[in-house]
C-alpha cells in the first residue's frame, strides 16, 4: 500500500517538473543585442516580450529551419541557450536575408500587417522598438 502511494507522489513530482521545464522553455523577455554580428550598432537594443508573443502564435510561426521550402524545425530544439535557434546563426552577412532585415521583416512585418487589419499589435516606428532613453 505504502509503495503505491509513493509511486503516486513521485508521479506528481514528475508532472510538476515537466510543467516547470515547459514554462521555463519560453523566456519571458529577451533583450536583442547582437552587437557582435552588427559590429557597429547605430540603434539601441530591443526588448522583445517573448512570452506575450506566445499567446495565440505557434513557436514555428517565428522559429524555422527550412528544407526544400518547408519548415522542418524540431520544436524540442527550442531550448534556452541553444545558439542554433538564434537568428544570427543563419542570417549572416552572406545570407540572402541579412540579420537586420530578418528582424525587421519578421517584427515590423507582422505589426504592420495586423495594424492594417485593425488588430491590436506592437510598435512600427523606429523608436517604438529601439527605445532611446536607456
User: What long-range pairs does 85-94 form, CB within 8 A, spacing at least 24?
Assistant: 87/34, 88/34, 88/36, 88/37, 92/37
Check binding of 131 to ligand HEC (CB under 6 A): no
Tell me whether residue 20 or residue 57 sits nearer to ligand HEC (CB atom).
Answer: 57
Residue with cell 533583450: 31
Nearest Cα to Cα of residue 81 among 89, 69, 70:
89
Report, in Å, the least distance between residue 44 CB and ligand HEC: 7
Report, in Å, the least distance between residue 133 CB and ligand HEC: 15
Site for ligand HEC in 56-115 (CB under 6 A): 57, 59, 61-66, 78-82, 85-91, 95-97, 100, 102-108, 110-111, 114
Nearest Cα to Cα of residue 131 among 116, 71, 122, 53:
122
Asked if 85 and 63 count as a contact pair (C-beta separation under 8 A), the reply is yes
Report, in Å, the least distance between residue 128 CB and ligand HEC: 5
Tell me whether residue 13 or residue 126 sits nearer to ligand HEC (CB atom).
Answer: 126
Tell me whether residue 14 or residue 61 sits nearer to ligand HEC (CB atom).
Answer: 61
Rounded Cα distance, 29 and 23, in Å: 13
Site for ligand HEC in 13-42 (CB under 6 A): 25-27, 30, 32-34, 38, 41-42
Amino acid at each position: 500500500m505504502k509503495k503505491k502511494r509513493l509511486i503516486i507522489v513521485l508521479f506528481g513530482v514528475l508532472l510538476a517538473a515537466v510543467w516547470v521545464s515547459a514554462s521555463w522553455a519560453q523566456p519571458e523577455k529577451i533583450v536583442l543585442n547582437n552587437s557582435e554580428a552588427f559590429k557597429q550598432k547605430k540603434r539601441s537594443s530591443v526588448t522583445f516580450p517573448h512570452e506575450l508573443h506566445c499567446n495565440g502564435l505557434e513557436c514555428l510561426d517565428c522559429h524555422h529551419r527550412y528544407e526544400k521550402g518547408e519548415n522542418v524545425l524540431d520544436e524540442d530544439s527550442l531550448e534556452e541557450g541553444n545558439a542554433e535557434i538564434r537568428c544570427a546563426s543563419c542570417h549572416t552577412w552572406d545570407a540572402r536575408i541579412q540579420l537586420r532585415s530578418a528582424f525587421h521583416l519578421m517584427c515590423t512585418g507582422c505589426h504592420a500587417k495586423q495594424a492594417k487589419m485593425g488588430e491590436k499589435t506592437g510598435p512600427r516606428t523606429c523608436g517604438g522598438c529601439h527605445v532611446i532613453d536607456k
